[in-house]
Amino acid sequence: VQLQASGGGLVQAGGSLRLSCSASGRTISSRAMGWFRQAPGKEREFVAAISGSGGITDYADSVKGRFTISRDNARNTVYLQMNSLKPEDTAVYYCAADKSARAGVRVEVSPYENWGQGTLVTVSS
């Protein structure tokens, strides 16, 4: 499966963006999906994840209450709505698919694959 992340851009602090992750090649409906981010000089970190059905979600503490992950399996697409953005949210955001079709979600980087090329989010103060 190929994943394409889009929707990044430059936004002022307090603003909003919605990222999309479109999958092609295979359906992702049976797989948990995750959003991760990587700031310059830092390791890739977990942001949010959603189960295949969409019934289970998890978020990094730093984004809880501000970001919302969702999915539309009919469109083979996962979304990340980002509100109340802060300068520390600046990073390249990646989507990825869990390697196995399993219940629940995982927050580590290693269980995920099919990383897209990423989309840059820049939040100015």
pLDDT, residue 97, reads: 96
- 38-49 pLDDT, tens digit each: 999 999 999 999
Q: What percent of the chain has pLDDT over 70?
A: 100
Q: Which residues pair with 81 in a beta bridge?
A: 18, 68
- 56-105 pLDDT, tens digit each: 999 999 999 999 999 999 999 999 999 999 999 999 999 999 998 877 89
The strand pair at 112-113 and 77-82 is best described as unpaired
